[in-house]
Amino acid sequence: MALSSSARPFPGIRSLVLAVLGAWFVFALAGSLLGIFDSQPRPPIPLGVTALGPIAVFAVWYLTSLGFREFVSTLNLRLLTFAQVWRVVGIVFVILYWRSALPGVFALPAGLGDVAIGITAPVVAWLWKPPYPRKMFVMWNLLGSLDLVLAVSLGVLSSATPVGLLAGDISTRLMGQFPLSLIPTFFVPLFLIFHLISLDRVRRERP
Alpha-carbon distance of 197 to 173, in angstroms, equals: 31
**First-to-final CA distance of the chain:** 4
- Burial of residue 127 (number of CB atoms within 10 Å: 0-12, 13-18, 19+): middle
Kindly report the pTM of this predicted structure. Answer: 0.92
Better-scored residue on pLDDT, 9 or 53: 53
Which of the four pLDDT bands, split at 50, 70 and 90, describes residue 207?
low
Mean pLDDT of 166-180: 90
116: closest CA among 78, 90, 92?
90
The CB density around residue 51, as the number of other CB atoms within 10 Å, is: 24
pLDDT for residue 9 = 58
Helix axes 188-204, 45-64, angle to 10 degrees: 30
pLDDT digits (tens, 9 = 90+) for 50-74: 999 999 999 999 999 999 999 999 9
Which of the four pLDDT bands, split at 50, 70 and 90, describes residue 48?
confident
